């Protein structure tokens, strides 16, 4: 059964802290994505990766960085968390770029920055 897991369901951090959100997929997918979901807005793409050690900026990369050292793992890093980064973060993966394949999502991490 296809699975995307995220390290935490809920996370509370303080302004200025460094935050790591981890995502692991077990489907040998090439593509991995990080989104954030805010009320009234669609899922917005932060960063994506088409291969190990490759990363591309999405629509809202400011304040974030990512790391993909292994194919199955894609990490989202908030170097210095701010209150406007309070959001639901969703990780997703798909087989390959340019295909019709659906994206498979993790359960999400609800991050609160105080």
Q: Which of 90, 93, 109, 113 binds another protein (CB under 8 A)?
A: 90
8 A C-beta contact, residue 46 and residue 34: yes
Using the rule CB under 8 A, give the single segment among 18-26, 42-50, 68-76, 79-87 that binds another protein. Answer: 42-50
Question: Hey, CA dihedral for 36, 42, 46, 48, is it positive or negative?
Answer: positive
Q: Of 36 and 81, which has the nearer Cβ to another protein?
A: 36
What mask, x for binding another protein by CB under 8 A, covers residues 70 to 89?
--------------------
């Amino acid at each position: 059964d296809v699975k995307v897991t995220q390290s935490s369901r809920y996370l509370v951090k303080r302004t200025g802290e460094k935050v790591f959100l981890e995502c692991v997929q077990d489907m040998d997918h090439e593509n991995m994505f990080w989104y954030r979901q805010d009320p009234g807005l669609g899922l917005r793409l932060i960063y994506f990766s088409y291969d190990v050690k490759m990363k591309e900026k999405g629509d809202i990369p400011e304040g974030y960085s990512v790391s993909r050292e292994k194919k199955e793992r894609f990490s989202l890093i908030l170097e210095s968390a701010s209150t406007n980064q309070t959001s639901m973060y969703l990780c997703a993966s798909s087989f390959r770029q340019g295909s019709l394949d659906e994206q498979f999502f993790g359960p999400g991490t609800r991050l609160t920055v105080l």
